[in-house]
Structure 1
């Protein structure tokens, strides 16, 4: 299998040294307490940082000789910083990993193999939501422990609904109900739109594709299925919300105004967005008072995109035993309970989602949890970032109203197949 080239020989050498320094499982359990060491733990979500620091403090209380320093880098700079650090052999000990990027880091030897933690019983993957660990498995080995799960639901503005005399969304809503409400909520004179249909797969159109029983990859994720009836039909319906129905800002408007920002300022009555936004909207005075959540409107079936983050260890860590000890704590029921109770994220650890819901009394956060049962794991393979970029760039012409999805679907499928083949 081909390897990506961004990790230097020096970094790979350090990675090998890091791996060779790994102790046995007994060493993990009995990491030396004879001297104090510091582990660096990278996260990108500002609103999750307090929760991660709380987990670190709980770990430090049980392990006073190990200090955990939580480093927060905004998403816009996070991967550039991590890549540079990995290339230079200075990556943080613990890296919060995203499925968008996992293959690159796994395939380049930048992450520590964690098979020993699962084989000897320190961590049991049966405790976590099925499918999330697949996002962090490479050539049969595990490189990240599931951290959380996320779904995408319908955020809506109660004040705008009340003003337009529209009933709040619930689980009886269909695509037709949704469109009818969006039309009533749209007020061009006031610059208010019913919904924001952005060129975004995770927060937007993937969910509608799945609800229409469409797919983007075949079962073994080796071929694109983009140019199929259900996928094209759903995507065109979604784009038509802006180009035909006029219930959404144009693509040009959304390129200058983030849907979440428009929602927070009362210019959009509904957006589809993730469970990870709950903390941000909780901290915003306007959305805390006016926003709420419902499950996505039903298409041919119920569906919502499912994703999850993971905890990884850098292959160049100087403290592999201590890093594994901390990761094991974070992955434990205790660590996940802390994550749930402080509202950091929906834990990937089964049975703790309700604790996360309780941390958002102002919102119907249960909607996100309800969707987990019918969540569709985000389409992924070794070339996800490349073909998703091709897809987004090619679809822009359709979002601009210049072509139909049908006109460009085969180009996207052929281009995706070429990218996947080149990555194999």
Structure 2
């Protein structure tokens, strides 16, 4: 059944553009929000935009909370037809029209490009005099890498990695709490102090989200070479990065097992069993219903992800969610202008207050981060936004296919089933095969 949300197209689009677009790409528009006078105005008629989630399992209610209600308020004559991520492949196969797809940068290759839904919005940006200078620069660079200098979409929010921890476990073992600015070596030593079995209960010191640790790595290492798509897992830097992370799962009491690379299992150890002391996970994960419910009673806090000792102050990469105008859309102008509104100061400020990191450079918006978020009140919020993001690693349309073998390698290394060199060699072979299969389609 189609999920149609009655919205409209009654507000003059000039007002929208004044909230969302800037000058001519050189920042000549009105400060903070404005499109110049004379910006493009859409046809003043009702329009239905089909929106497909391509990033998570959010239902229609969550979509409305995060985006739909704001769009409805701004554009009373737009009707949004929402479809969850599980429906994306079937809709593409059935050749059904999609106007907007939204997904993370990490899933863009598999959820947009592999389906042929990408569309270069450069002309729409020019036509609407949208000011890209308002956006955090790395988000634009990511798109330019994917689109060979063009842009397929606009960022709407971002996330990154931080280190959550359970204070009760540290108190139980008399260990000091983690702190902002730690190095990975310091975290390694701290993990030893909270990895043990007591009273028949196994307490693990540290775990992580393997996919996000790889995608957002602080060394900005790509999976593939940009021009040839050569797999780069065999490089010395990649081996060092892998060893830095997997060594934690050789510590007594924190040994890896079949569940180590399964993020949902690690989250459950942290928030349900409460036997995991520290979890490196996305900063926006605290907005997930299960985490929020657990955090009501859990004695938790958060600090910045540890730094590499040779790069103090350098955090992980930014991990934006982009909204894309689909190549199949018959309403590309309307779709773009709705997406542009989601990058406006007005919308971004409200998102930031909720604890959703903004993609704008606006100091006012950044300062408002999590002000209205009751769940993180009294917590170390500054630890959730790095002093400096690492440069974005290259993504290509084959990145998702290449990643599967890498995650298998990390799991096998963590369980002691293979050494690093062997596992990464197998991952390279697996990735090369997957890329060739995609290229042959």
Please give the range of the TM-score, normalised by the shorter of the 2 chains.
Answer: 0.7 to 0.9
Distance change in 2, residues 1:239/1:115 (3 Å): same
Distance 1:349 1:49 in 2: 26
Name the SS of the counterpart of 1:232 in structure 2: helix
What does the per-residue CA deviation read over 1:236-274, in whole Å, with 9 as the maximum and x for residues that have no partner? Answer: 2422322x2134352224367621111102110101001
Select the structure that is richer in helix. 1
Say what the alpha-carbon RMSD is for the aligned residues. Answer: 3.4
The answer for the alignment partner of 1:149 in structure 2 is: 158
Distance 2:299 2:70 in 1: 35
What does the per-residue CA deviation read over 1:202-230, in whole Å, with 9 as the maximum and x for residues that have no partner? Answer: 1x4566x636x866555768434322334
Q: Please say if residues 330 and 336 of structure 1, whose CA atoms lie closer than 8 Å, have aligned partners that are also in contact.
A: yes
Q: Which of 232, 246, 260 is the aligned partner of 2:267?
A: 260
Distance change in 2, residues 1:378/1:164 (3 Å): farther
| Residue 333 (structure 2) pairs with residue 325 (structure 1) | no
Distance 2:169 2:429 in 1: 43
Name the SS of the counterpart of 1:166 in structure 2: coil
Q: Which of 71, 90, 94 is the aligned partner of 1:59?
A: 71
Q: Please say if residues 49 and 70 of structure 1, whose CA atoms lie closer than 8 Å, have aligned partners that are also in contact.
A: no
The answer for the alignment partner of 1:363 in structure 2 is: 379
Deviation at 1:279, TM superposition (A): 1.0
The answer for the alignment partner of 2:10 in structure 1 is: none
1:219-298 equivalence runs, <5 A: 222-242=229-249, 244-254=250-260, 258-265=265-272, 266-280=274-288, 283-286=292-295, 289-298=298-307
Distance 2:168 2:409 in 1: 37
The answer for the alignment partner of 1:391 in structure 2 is: 406
Deviation at 1:91, TM superposition (A): 4.4
What does the per-residue CA deviation read over 1:363-399, in whole Å, with 9 as the maximum and x for residues that have no partner? Answer: 323222225x132424522210111112222343322
Query: Which shifted more, 108-117 or 44-53?
Result: 44-53
The answer for the alignment partner of 2:420 in structure 1 is: 405
| Residue 93 (structure 2) pairs with residue 87 (structure 1) | yes
Distance 1:296 1:311 in 2: 27
The answer for the alignment partner of 2:170 in structure 1 is: 161
What does the per-residue CA deviation read over 1:72-116, in whole Å, with 9 as the maximum and x for residues that have no partner? Answer: x3xxxx2x4212212323244321122234235346542443112
The answer for the alignment partner of 2:106 in structure 1 is: 100
Distance 1:404 1:120 in 2: 54
What does the per-residue CA deviation read over 1:159-202, in whole Å, with 9 as the maximum and x for residues that have no partner? Answer: 2122222222113422232122212212323221111256x231
Deviation at 1:403, TM superposition (A): 2.0
Identify unmatched segments of 5+ residues in structure 1: 1-24
The answer for the alignment partner of 2:204 in structure 1 is: 193
Q: Which of 361, 371, 375 is the aligned partner of 1:350?
A: 361
TM-score by structure 2 length?
A: 0.76
What does the per-residue CA deviation read over 1:394-419, in whole Å, with 9 as the maximum and x for residues that have no partner? Answer: 34332221221023334434554666
Name the SS of the counterpart of 2:329 in structure 1: coil
Distance 2:81 2:342 in 1: 14
Deviation at 1:340, TM superposition (A): 1.8
| Residue 395 (structure 2) pairs with residue 380 (structure 1) | yes
Distance change in 2, residues 1:148/1:221 (3 Å): farther
Distance change in 2, residues 1:86/1:353 (3 Å): farther
Corresponding residue pairs, total: 386
Distance 1:374 1:142 in 2: 21
Q: Which of 81, 103, 115 is the aligned partner of 2:122?
A: 115
Name the SS of the counterpart of 2:270 in structure 1: helix
Name the SS of the counterpart of 1:147 in structure 2: strand
Q: Please say if residues 42 and 95 of structure 1, whose CA atoms lie closer than 8 Å, have aligned partners that are also in contact.
A: yes
TM-score by structure 1 length?
A: 0.78
Distance 2:57 2:415 in 1: 31
Deviation at 1:121, TM superposition (A): 4.6
Name the SS of the counterpart of 2:87 in structure 1: helix
Deviation at 1:155, TM superposition (A): 0.8
Distance 2:336 2:226 in 1: 33
Q: Please say if residues 182 and 306 of structure 2, whose CA atoms lie closer than 8 Å, have aligned partners that are also in contact.
A: yes
Distance 1:317 1:354 in 2: 36
Identify unmatched segments of 5+ residues in structure 2: 1-34
